[in-house]
Amino acid sequence: MIEWEMIAYHYNYYITIFLMVSGLYIVIARGNMIKKLIGLGLFQTSVYLLYLAPGKIIGGTAPIYDKAYQVYSNPLPHVLILTAIVVGVATLAVGLALVVRISEEYGSIDEDEIFEQDEDQ
Amino acid sequence: MYDATPETLLIASLVIPLIGALLIPLFHRHPNLRETVTLITAGLLASVVWSLYGPVMAGARPELVGPEIVPGLSIALKVEPLGMIYGLVASTLWIVNSIYSIGYMRGNNEPRQTSFYVCFAVAIASAIGIAFSANLITLFLAYEILTLSTYPLVTHKATDEARKSGRTYLMLLIGTSMVLLLPAIIITAAVAGTTDFTPGGILDGKLTPVLLSGLLALFVFGIGKAAVMPVHFWLPAAMVAPTPVSALLHAVAVVKAGVFTVVKVVVYIFGIDTLRQSGATDWFLWVASFTIIVASLIALRQDNLKKRLAYSTVSQLSYVVLGAAILTPLSLVGAAMHIAAHACAKITLFFAAGSIYTAAHKTEISELDGIGHKMPWTMSAFTIGALAMIGLPPTAGFLGKWFMLQGAAGSAQWLPIVVIVISTILNALYFLPIVHRAFFRGTATTSVDAGAVAAASVGAASVRDGEHHHHDDHGEAPFPIVLALCTTALMTLALFFFPEVPMNLANAMIQR
Amino acid sequence: MSGLQEHLPILQILVPLFGAILTAFTRRGITAWAIAAIASGIAPFISAGLLIRVLETGQPISYVMGSWAAPWGIEYRVDVLNAYVLLIISLIGLISIPYARKSVATEIDSHKQPWFYTMYLLCLAGLLGIVITGDAFNAFVFLEISSLATYTLIALGRNRRALLSAYQYLIMGTIGATFYIIGVGLLYVVTGTLNFADLATKLGPAMATHNKPILAAMAFMTVGISLKLALFPLHVWLPNAYAYAPSFATAFLAGTATKAAIYLLARIYFSVFAVVVPLKELPVSEVIIALSLAAMFLASITAIFEQNAKRMLAYSSVAQIGYITLGLALANKMGVAGGLVHMFNHAIMKTALFFALGAMAYRTGLGQMSSLAGIGRKMPITTAAFVVAGLGLIGVPGTAGFISKWYLAIGAINHGWTWLVFMIVLSSLLAVIYIGRFVEIAYFREPAPEIANAHEPPASMLAPLVILAAATIYLGFDTRLTGGTAQSIANYLLGGAP
């Protein structure tokens, strides 16, 4: 028997897990270094969702400190994920910069080709 | 020196050789000064160690406790009678050996003499450290430094053969000490809460007989320097070193450090009563006996003089182990006596081997026909050493065996008696032919050996000229060498007639 | 003065952080180096001040950011454990900085040097931040700061393979950090807090209702941090990264980077999970012990057959990390103390070893073992320092490494696993082989023509090396700083349990 209610309440987690696993798969399975970085980005993005989704309360407002608004969503995850996004962007930037340098040195961004070049030496 | 307290003397005995090691390189460019430093250091050290003898016999046990390095365990020194014997032997023979070294190293134009003397001084300092250590940690520390400081000496020639032997040396000594001895020490510390050398032992009633026996095995085989079979391979390998190294270190300091440690562990860690009551140590006796016999059999087959002496050492070391394994007070006195006796005798034999190498460039026994006529001093000293090895009076070798036999007979253990008798015969079989060859066979007319390329051209010319020339017509070795080997030969004899010092100390050891 | 003392925890981070900003504006390597030197020079005094205060009072120091009280705002919380690790990291920073000048000047293009020092200071700030913060998410941010700086440092190596190594490390490191943050997220969902101390109190009640997410969080965090600390078999990024990074970067990272990650592991286990999760029912400790043993043996064996000297030491690092995690996994007083002692000792010894190789590379430009034949005669002091530190790695008595191994062995016996003692000493024997191999090459072979002109490095490089080699010996005799502190940390972490 399928617990539809449970699935409905947790669908955000299923999306998170899907993103996480597909991101990780791309990192592992692809030889192209740019694609790997894309996979890594996807993997990190899934974490943002993991944090943000539980913070949202249905019917809640933004956290405004006023008697008129009794129910509000937790602001902390947003703050955290803002930081995490910055970290993610920085990582991607460093990663891409490395790929540019690798491409300059090796003339390729495919891992297999690059490893072959180094073995020849 | 007179108003120095025993504690000051104790610390001085460690510091003096280390200062020597620091000073020697300063005189790198002045060999004569450098050797003077070595001799002064050796002389000072021996006088310091000797001046500890009086206080120790008077019952003093000077003690120094250093920093606590792991919980409950400190670096600590303490002088007790057994350590005193070993300390006296090592420090006294260092003087003689230094004189010999000067003759040998110069006579053979050895390279890197400065580092040779530095390593030697460090090795002696660690030997003294072993002698006067108050607990297993300190002993282990000095034990490992001794191994490491002698490694450059063993590999001194820097040839491929030296490198290979160095590997064997290091891997066997470091290997056994790390893999067996260190766990044994750690387990002892964990079980007894201390590793202090205590009369009567520290393990009484703390382990079952089987575990006790296992721990003893870890110690006996872990102390690779005692060269109990099968962990003896490093000793023949170490013979690649220059002869003074083989003489003092691999006949005295290093190997005696091994058997000394075995005796010390048996007496002060296990306690002979504890071991005897456990009744699970028969294998100990068998291992020692096996080593004595088999090493003698191997020695019989060696033609290289130093190799034969090395296997003889393996065999003789196990006498000391046997003395410990018999587990009676008298046999322990025998073991302690044998440490001193074998030291004097074996160093004489090695000195003689080095003397022959320096003067005649000969290393094989088969080349020694008639050499006694050309090198009478050397070969007479050799004969005295050989008699001591066999254990005949009037040499010191007799005493150790005598006490061991008494101990064994007193406790009705027949195996050691049989072993000692057989091995005495074997000793005679592999030493007397050398003496016979040297004195009672005519001069060999073998061709020039490869070891003396320089001498060869002179030698070839001199054959035509007749006598009084090089190589086959060599004389005695340089004077320092002859002086050194005669001194040790005399000491071998003197120990038989005046055995008081080691005797008193050995008796003090077994009294509680 | 007392006001300044109040702010020590934040200053620990701010000093290198501001240094990093300043160096970014400099144009010349020497200016940047001077700034880095000042920042690195101040850091250990702050750490020492914190450690002394924590040891004296016996109470953790709490520092709250921006007046937001602890569970909501970010708290810096200094207890004996992190004060000790702070000291390790900042001391290695201090000792490395004189060495950096000449080494960096030859290995890094002059226009990149200021950036190099920026990255170094960011890395230092990040590592110190991981250790000082009491907030799980903040630790992640610092982890990424230090990691990003590290990727850059490694990529600046002269060989083009450095780029590849940096890229691979970036991929693995990011996965590791993300795993960690997933774990933190799960804990946050369950408890609503990110503060380590607060987590420890709130996880207990939460265990009753949400034990599965908590266990999942533990698994994610363990794997994530293990990637960063290079626990076998998650170490594959490390050998290449260490081998191709600039000499100075390798030496600094080998002493510090993995230590900060190990700290984080110790923190989440002993301060957070051990309090609430019935660890005894899970084979966590057994698994980590098994992996540590695998590291100690397999990585050491790999090191024996390695031809590149730096990579040999890198594999040795993997093995030595195994000792540290082994000690922590034993989870008894002596074992944990042993792991902590070895953190300090290994930092000292491995930095010294990499310094020595760096000095040889500085004079010869070579890094293959065989090409360094006879180097012992050309650079006697450098090689001798290498041997001393190598003896420490082996664990010869009289060196720091012996103390580590003694603690670990007693820890193993107290755990009831005497056989582990033999494993520990057997693996030490493997170190004899790989260090011995280098010694044989350095001393017994004739010097090759390529190194004919090699001689001792400049004093600024030689002095740090000799000091570290001397420290290897000194710490083998005076163990108050290492052993003494480690024991009080172990007491503190294990709550007085035997």
Among C397, C414, C433, select the one facing B140 at the smallest CB separation.
Answer: C397
What is the token pair recorded at C96? 């490395």
> Which of A6, A12, A34, A87 has the most C C-beta neighbours within 10 Å, making it the best mutation to test the interface with C?
A87
Q: At what angle do helices C459-474 and C80-107 cross, to 10 degrees?
A: 150
B132: in domain? no
Q: A91–C164: do the CB atoms touch at under 8 Å? A: no
- Each residue's pLDDT tens digit, B224-247: 888 888 888 888 888 888 888 888
CB contact under 8 A, C396 and B70: no
**Length of chain C in residues, anyone?**
498
Q: Chains with 3 or more CB pairs closer than 8 angstroms to C?
A: A, B
C461: in domain: yes
Say how far apart CA C154 and CA C245 lie, in whole Å: 4
Please state which of the ranges B341-355, B414-428, C270-284 shows the lowest mean pLDDT: C270-284
Bridge partners, C75 (sequence order) = C64
Averaged confidence pLDDT in chain A: 84
User: What tokens does B139 get?
Assistant: 């002993």
Q: How many CA atoms lie within 13 A of C151 on its CB side?
A: 26
What residues in A contact C160, CB-CB < 8 Å?
A: 102, 105-106
Whether residue C391 lies within 8 A of chain B, CB to CB, comes out as yes
Distances (CA, A) of C159 to A97, A121, B493, C257: 17, 12, 70, 22
* CATH domain A4-120 topology: Helix Hairpins (1.10.287)
Residue B12 has pLDDT above 70, yes or no: yes
B163 shares contact with chain C (CB less than 8 Å): yes
pLDDT at B211: 86
Q: How far apart are CA B399 and CA B383, in angstroms?
A: 18
**Which of A42-69 are b and which e, b meaning 16 or more Cβ less than 10 Å from the residue's Cβ?**
bbbbbbbbbbbbbbeeeeeeeeeeeeee
Q: Return all residues near C57 (Cβ < 8 A) that are at least 6 apart.
A: none
Q: Which of C161, C170, C191, C198 to mutate to test the interface with A (most CBs of A within 10 A)?
A: C170
**Average pLDDT score, chain B:** 84
CA-nearest residue to C483 within chain B is B70
C487 near B CB under 8 A: yes
- 3-state DSSP call for residue B250? helix
**Range A16-20 average pLDDT:** 90
β partners of residue B73: B70
Is the pLDDT reported for residue B203 higher than 90?
no
- Is residue C176 included in any domain, yes or no? no
pLDDT of residue C29: 83
- Reported confidence tier of residue C150, pLDDT bands at 50, 70, 90: very high
CB distance from A43 to chain C under 8 Å? yes
- pLDDT at residue B2, rounded to an integer: 52
Given an 8 Å threshold on Cβ–Cβ distance, is C175 in contact with A94? Answer: no
B443 located within any domain: yes
Query: What's the rounded mean pLDDT across residues C475-492?
Result: 87
Per DSSP, A72 falls in state B
Contacts of C184 in chain A (CB under 8 A): none
Beta-carbon separation of A51 and C140 below 8 A: no
Residue C323 near chain B (CB below 8 Å): no
- Cβ neighbours around B445 below 10 Å, total: 8
Q: Long-range contact list for A74-78, CB < 8 A, 24+ apart?
A: A74/C192, A76/C72, A77/A51, A77/A52, A77/C188, A78/A52
The mean-pLDDT minimum among A35-44, A53-62, B124-133, B324-333 falls in: A53-62
Say what angle helices B113-131 and B254-264 make with each other, to 10 degrees. 10
Model confidence over C410-429: pLDDT tens digits? 999 988 888 999 999 999 99
**How many Å lie between the alpha carbon of C414 and the closest alpha carbon of chain B?**
8
- Highest mean pLDDT, choosing among A100-114, B15-29, C343-357: C343-357
pLDDT band at C281 (very low <50, low <70, confident <90, very high): low
What digits encode the pLDDT tens for the residues C42-79? 999 999 999 988 888 878 888 887 767 666 778 888 88
Q: Does A104 touch chain C (CB under 8 A)?
A: no
Domain count, chain C: 1
Sign of the CA dihedral running B350, B353, B355, B357: negative
**Chain A closest CA to C493's CA: distance in Å?**
29
Q: Which chains touch B (3 or more CB pairs under 8 A)?
A: C
Mutation to test the B interface, candidates C300, C410, C491, most B Cβ within 10 Å:
C410
Query: B45 with B92: CB under 8 angstroms?
Result: no
C437-448 pLDDT, tens digit each: 898 888 887 787
- Residue C231 amino acid letter: L
Sequence length of chain B is: 512
**Is C188 in Cβ contact with A47 (below 8 Å)?**
no
Is position B464 within any domain?
yes
Of A42-56, A71-85, C186-200, C343-357, give the range with the top mean pLDDT: C343-357
Q: A100: pLDDT confidence band, cut at 50, 70 and 90?
A: very high
Q: What is the per-residue DSSP string for B115-184?
A: HHHHHHHHHHHHHHHHHTBSBHHHHHHHHHHHHHHHHHHHTTT-SHHHHHHHHHHHHHHHHHIIIIIHHH
Give CA–CA dist C339/B20, Å, rounded: 39
Beta bridge partners of A61: A72
Q: Which residues in chain A have Cβ-Cβ distances shorter than 8 Å to C171?
A: 27, 36, 40, 95
Contact C425 B174 (CB under 8 A): no
Which chain B residues contact residue C395 at CB under 8 A?
Answer: 178
Within 8 A by CB and 6+ apart from B260, the residues are B82, B83, B86, B130, B131, B339
Give C182 to chain A, closest Cα distance, Å: 6
CA distance C458 to B122: 29
Flag whether residue B60 sits within 8 Å of chain C, measured between CB atoms: no
* The pLDDT value given to residue B464: 38
CB atoms closer than 10 angstroms to residue B300: 15
What b/e readout covers A76-106, taking b as 16+ CB neighbours within 10 angstroms? bbbebbeebeebbeebbebbebbbebbeebb
B171-185, B460-474, C120-134 — which is least confidently predicted?
Answer: B460-474
Instruction: Point out the residue among C334, C422, C478 whose CB comes nearest to the CB of B183.
Output: C422
Residue B466 lies in a domain: yes
Tally of structural domains, chain B: 1
For chains C and A, having 3+ Cβ pairs within 8 Å is answered yes
What is the rounded average pLDDT of the residues A77-86?
Answer: 88
CA C64 – CA C132 distance, rounded (Å)? 12
- The continuous run of DSSP H or E covering B77 comes out as strand B73-78
Residue C378: Cβ-neighbour burial (10 angstroms; 0-12, 13-18, 19+): buried
CB atoms within 10 A of CB B14: 20
Within a 10 A sphere around the Cβ of C445, how many other Cβ atoms?
17
Instruction: Give residue B452's region: left, alpha or beta (phi > 0; psi -120 to 50).
Output: beta
Give residues 91 to 150 of B whose Cβ lies within 8 Å of C: 137, 140-141, 144-145, 148
Averaged pLDDT score across all residues of chain C: 88
The reported pLDDT for the residue numbered B467 is 38
Percent of chain B with pLDDT over 70: 93
Q: Do B190 and C410 touch (CB under 8 A)?
A: yes
- pLDDT higher at C39 or C67: C39
Residue C390's nearest CA partner among C355, C343, C341, C338 is: C355
Q: Which segment of B407-421, C62-76, C254-268 scores lowest on mean pLDDT?
A: C62-76
Under 8 Å CB-to-CB from B142, ≥6 apart: which residues?
A: B126, B127, B129, B130, B133
pLDDT at B445 over 60: no
Q: What is the reported pLDDT for B498?
A: 86
The domains of chain A are located at 4-120
- Contact with chain B for residue C383, Cβ under 8 A: no
Q: From the CA of C222, how many Å to the nearest CA of chain B?
A: 31
A27, C182: Cβ pair inside 8 Å?
Answer: no
Task: Report the percentage of chain B scoring pLDDT > 90.
Answer: 15
Cis, peptide link before residue B230, omega less than 30° from 0 = yes
Q: Is B460 a residue whose pLDDT tops 50? A: no
Domain range enclosing B509: 281-512
Distance of residue A89 Cα from the nearest chain C Cα, in angstroms: 11
Average pLDDT over residues B101-126: 85
> For chains A and C, what is the number of CB pairs under 8 angstroms?
69
Please answer whether residues C219 and C246 qualify as being in contact, where contact means their C-beta atoms are separated by less than 8 angstroms: no
User: Residue B3: what pLDDT?
Assistant: 61
Instruction: Name B204's Cβ contacts closer than 8 Å, sequence gap at least 6.
Output: B271, B273, B274
Closest CB to C166: pick one of A36, A40, A98.
A98
Give the chain B residue whose CA is nearest to the CA of C374: B158
pLDDT above 70 for B37: yes
Do the Cβ atoms of B167 and C440 come within 8 Å?
yes
Task: Please check whether residue A44 touches C, CB under 8 A.
Answer: yes
Residue C368: φ, ψ to 5°: -75, 140
Tell me: cis bond preceding C233? Omega within 30 of 0 counts: yes
Does the beta-carbon distance from A98 to C174 stay under 8 Å? no
CA distances from B159 to A25, B165, C377, C443 (A): 56, 10, 15, 11
Contact (CB<8Å) C170/A101: no
Query: Residue B89 carries which side chain, given as an amino acid letter?
Result: V
Integer CA distances (angstroms), C2 to B156, C9, C65, in order: 61, 13, 18
For testing contact with chain B, the best of C340, C421, C426, C480 (most B CBs within 10 A): C421
Residue C456 lies in a domain: yes
Q: Nearest CA of chain C to the CA of B67: how many Å?
A: 7
How many CB atoms are closer than 10 A to CB C205? 11
